[in-house]
Amino acid sequence: MATLLGCIADDFTGATDLAGLLARSGVHVSLRLGVPEAPPSNTAPFEVVALKCRTAPVADAVAECRAALAWLLDAGASRFFWKYCSTFDSTAEGNIGPVAEALMDDLGTDQTIYCPAFPENGRSIFMGNLFVGRQPLAESSMRDHPLTPMRDSSLMRLLEPQVTRPVGLADRLTVARGAPELRRHLARLCDDGVAHVVVDAVANEDLQTIAESCRDMMLMTGGSAVAMPLPKLYRDDGLLAADAPSPDRPVLPAGVVVLSGSCSAMTNEQVAAFNGGPSLRLDPMKLAESGHGAALEWLREQPADGTPMIYATASPDAVRAAQEYLGTARAGQLVENALADLAKAAFAAGRRRFVVAGGEASGAVSQALGLSRLDIGAEIAPGVPWTFTTVDGEPIAITLKSGNFGDRDFFTTALARLEAS
């Protein structure tokens, strides 16, 4: 079937978040891990390409996203979505703005919107300012994010240094007046040369209005939630039919492994709350000294039907200390390499259920296992589904969780939800 909506996500957990929300509609969603090397075939109405470019050099991120766009165009997509984190993870250099502008150039479109709001997960935008729960972004735990510290809550100010064209705002008062008024406002801004428009949203009703207003835009950008109304709107427009149920869950052995690389505040809580099995912490400074052989040996010693957790999750102070000693890039790479090898060792030992926390960790694990396409299953928490695929002909289940998503008991809930599906 020809693809209608082509999506590009800047990390693997963001891609599963988007795919899971789109799959709520009952429409077939295909998730590709990396830009496929082969030409499009057997494509779904909604195709999501997961990249690992959130913190890549700007030129590399732009090139990879352009390659993903070219593949999606070949698949027949006529509308596109650039998905990034609901906390707008970026720096003054990018990568959100430069990628959006490059995609606009390739598509020949004059305007796009930015709406990372996800009220169901506590992310809202008011007068252009992003809130995490009741806190402005710059006062939340994202202020001290190890890779993209967010020291400003104004999305317009965050975006302006990243792009070359004017930035504007569609505020909550405009959105509250409904889709026709929002469309008129966007048209007026476009006439004035405003190419990049931040759009307020504080409730799910706002997301519905925004999606209704922008569904014919060549390119939308934002968090996954603003894309959630699109399937029904496309169906109402006669562009789409609900033609594919969620995939059946394969029969899997009992063995599980939990791998956590995120250092977000929520993942710290989730790791502290985990009581499903033994756990082992990865310390980047120890990894630099002696490698991760001891962690591999520890994993091999765990019972095949157990639920071991291996984590690099740590407090902001511990993360800063490791980064200052090793350098930010090396500290992160040591952890990713360790988690990648641990995932391969877990599979070799017969474990077929993987719970992975953190965008960088999810990318490392997915690439290590050689994953290229995932079928979307039941949601564990908003934006976090189980997914199914095969590795060397063996079925596996894997969930890739963004660091800030899920509640305190997520790891336990994830396994229970898989059993119930």
Reported as a single tens digit per residue, the pLDDT across 261-284 is: 999 989 999 999 999 899 999 999
Q: The whole model's pTM is what? A: 0.85
- Secondary structure (DSSP) of 137-165: GGGSGGGG-SSS-----BHHHHHGGG-SS
Neighbours of 218 (CB within 10 A): 15
Domain membership of residue 409 as a residue range: 256-420
- Supply the pLDDT for residue 9: 97
Phi and psi, residue 14, nearest 5°: -65, -35
Tell whether the model's pLDDT for residue 184 goes beyond 70. Answer: yes
Q: Model confidence at 3, in pLDDT bands (50, 70, 90)?
A: very high
Structure tokens at 251: 């029969």
Q: Rounded to whole angstroms, what are the CA distances from 75 to 36, 41, 130, 310, 408? A: 11, 8, 34, 39, 40
Q: Are residues 177 and 314 in the same domain?
A: no
Q: Are residues 298 and 232 in the same domain?
A: no
- Supply the pLDDT for residue 243: 57
Q: What is the mean pLDDT of the chain?
A: 93
Q: Rounded to whole angstroms, what are the CA distances from 201 to 117, 134, 204, 206, 393? A: 6, 14, 8, 5, 44
Structure tokens at 367: 């690439």
Q: Are residues 277 and 368 in the same domain?
A: yes
**Residue 4 DSSP symbol:** S
- Supply the pLDDT for residue 247: 56
For residue 12, the one-letter residue type is F
- Supply the pLDDT for residue 144: 83
* R_g of the chain computed on alpha carbons: 21
Maximum C-alpha span of the chain:
65
What's the number of domains the chain is made of? Answer: 2
Residue at which a domain ends, from 169, 201, 236: 236
Instruction: State the CATH number of the domain containing residue 111.
Output: 3.40.50.10840
**Domain for residue 245, yes or no?**
no
Q: Are residues 193 and 270 in the same domain?
A: no
Residue that the structure tokens 């000294």 belong to: 289
Q: Which residue has the higher pLDDT, 404 or 239?
A: 239
Residue at which a domain ends, from 172, 206, 236: 236
Q: How many CA atoms lie within 13 A of 353 on its CB side?
A: 23
**Domain for residue 246, yes or no?**
no
Q: Are residues 214 and 275 in the same domain?
A: no
**Residue 59 DSSP symbol:** H
Q: Are residues 171 and 262 in the same domain?
A: no
Q: Model confidence at 376, in pLDDT bands (50, 70, 90)?
A: confident
Q: For the chain, what's the residue count?
A: 421
List pLDDT tens digits, range 83-111.
999 999 988 899 999 999 999 999 999 99
Rounded to whole angstroms, the Cα distance separating 43 from 29 reads 9
Tell whether the model's pLDDT for residue 242 goes beyond 80. Answer: no
List pLDDT tens digits, range 385-415.
899 999 999 999 999 998 888 999 999 999 8
**In this prediction, what percent of the chain has a pLDDT beyond 90?**
79
**Domain for residue 265, yes or no?**
yes
- Supply the pLDDT for residue 421: 65
Compute the average pLDDT of residues 339-354. 97
Residue that the structure tokens 């008062």 belong to: 173
Q: Are residues 85 and 155 in the same domain?
A: yes
393: Cβ contacts below 8 Å, ≥ 6 apart? none
Q: Are residues 221 and 308 in the same domain?
A: no
Tell whether the model's pLDDT for residue 245 goes beyond 70. Answer: no
Q: Model confidence at 289, in pLDDT bands (50, 70, 90)?
A: very high
Rounded to whole angstroms, the Cα distance separating 392 from 81 reads 32
List pLDDT tens digits, range 124-168.
999 999 999 999 999 998 888 888 889 999 999 999 999 999 999
For residue 298, the one-letter residue type is W
List pLDDT tens digits, range 16-51.
989 999 988 888 889 999 999 999 998 999 999 999
Q: How many CA atoms lie within 13 A of 400 on its CB side?
A: 31
Q: Are residues 200 and 312 in the same domain?
A: no
Structure tokens at 415: 């396994």
- Supply the pLDDT for residue 1: 63
Neighbours of 232 (CB within 10 A): 16
Rounded to whole angstroms, the Cα distance separating 325 from 322 reads 5
Q: Which residue has the higher pLDDT, 251 or 169?
A: 169
Compute the average pLDDT of residues 208-232. 97
Q: Are residues 167 and 90 in the same domain?
A: yes
Rounded to whole angstroms, the Cα distance separating 74 from 47 reads 12
**Domain for residue 41, yes or no?**
yes
Structure tokens at 225: 């939630």
